[in-house]
Structure formats: structure tokens, C-alpha cells
Chains A and B, each alone.
Chain A
Amino acid sequence: DQQVKQNSPSLSVQEGRISILNCDYTNSMFDYFLWYKKYPAEGPTFLISISSIKDKNEDGRFTVFLNKSAKHLSLHIVPSQPGDSAVYFCAASDRRRLSFGAGTTVTVRA
């Protein structure tokens, strides 16, 4: 049973524009959410996180929004850069382990 879902397998965006990645979850026990970025042939690298007691967390070009009532979170990347082209995974923690979505492949066009 997929408890974390990323319904958009891919996203193409112009360099300099905003990338918006979405994620939905079903388990109310999740209280901490993370985004990881993955390049081919490498392991996922941590990008940004948010606690369930917050609705927004910002780190440079990356902002994560959490709508707890809708069980939905999103990652905004502004402005998008060519180096942002990668697979982005949404993950949720129940404090024991992480559950991941299937990922969204972002391609930033020059």
C-alpha cells in the first residue's frame, strides 16, 4: 500500500521559472516530511524538510509547504536552474522509518 504518492512522474520547466512538485500522503502518523534529490547512479541526498507543526519551511531557492488537513505537501524551486534536473522524492517519517513516493523527474530547459 503506497502511503506516499507523487502523481506526476515528470516535470519540464524553463530555466529561471518556478518548479512545483506535489506529494500526498495517507498515514496520519507521519509527523515529519522530507524531500530528497537523486542524480543517476547516486544515492538520494537530503534537500529540505518540514515538521508537521509548521506549514512552511524555506531554504534559499527551496520552499516546502505542508497542508496537514489535506495531507498534501509541495516543493517550490525558484528560480529553477539546469543543475536542478534530477529525480525528486517526497518522504514521510513516523519517527521509525521513511516512506517514499515514486519520485518526480524534473528537467530544466535552457
Chain B
Amino acid sequence: DTGVSQDPRHKITKRGQNVTFRCDPISEHNRLYWYRQTLGQGPEFLTYFQNEAQLEKSRLLSDRFSAERPKGSFSTLEIQRTEQGDSAMYLCASSPGGELGMNTEAFFGQGTRLTVV
């Protein structure tokens, strides 16, 4: 397994368009996370899944954002009616266990850089 994979790596879209990103976690990892990172800031939590169940969503995740993990494997993050403020790096991570702790660290993908023009 080559790690967490995200597609696309870069996306440029016009304001108002919808975009969808895909994340393939490390095989057998039960947890999957989405984070967003803007310039000069650390990653900000958006949401996470335990298998196919979405267990928590941040207040940052407005109604225009939706995430799915239909079969407990890959996940998609959709942003509807994109705004310029949505421009950021969107990071996906996965971890093997039920809780984040020793030996169950989160492993990140390379991210999808979104630019809204």
C-alpha cells in the first residue's frame, strides 16, 4: 500500500461551480478525516468517519460542504457553489484504530489544492 491517495492534486474552478474531491485511505484503516489548511495556518478539522459512519462535523463545514464514505473505504468531499474563501489545501488522513492514540497515528495524503477564481 502506498499510503493515503487524494485526487485531484490541483483544482481551479470558477466561483459558483461545484467541485468534488476523492480520498483513498490506507487499506484496513477504519477512520478517515478531512482537514482544510490555508496559508500560514495549521490544518483545521472538518469531519471524520468511522468506517461508513460520519461521526463528527466541524462548524467550519457549512451546508455547502458534504462528505461521504459510502462503503467504508474511499471518501468524497463535495463543495457546492464554491466561493473564493473556499480556496485552500484540502487534506485527507486515515488511522487504523478506533481512537487516536499511541500507535494509531493519522497518516495524511498529499492534499488537493483548490483555487476558486
Contact = CB atoms under 8 A, between A and B. Distances in A.
B41 interface: yes
Contacts of B109: 43
Contacts of A49: 102, 105
B32 to A, nearest CB: 11
Nearest to A95: B99
Contact of B42 (A95, A97, A103): A103
B100 A100 contact: no
Given A43-B4, A97-B33, A97-B56, A102 B110 contact: no
Contacts of A21: none
Interface string A30-44: 011010100001111
Interface of A: 4, 6, 9, 31-32, 34, 36, 41-46, 49, 51, 89, 91, 93, 95-103
Given A43-B111, A93-B101, A98 B91 contact: no
Interface string B17-60: 00000000000000001010000111111001000000110000
B110 A95 contact: no
A32 B101 contact: yes
Give 8 closest A-B pairs by Cβ, nearest first. A100-B42, A43-B108, A95-B99, A93-B100, A43-B110, A46-B105, A44-B108, A100-B43
Nearest to B42: A100
Nearest to B109: A43
B106 interface: yes
Contacts, number: 66
Contacts of B65: none
Interface of B: 4, 6, 33, 35, 40-45, 48, 55-56, 91, 93, 99-102, 105-111
Contacts of B110: 41-43
Contact of B40 (A51, A89, A96, A102): A102
Contacts of B105: 34, 46, 49
B45 A51 contact: no
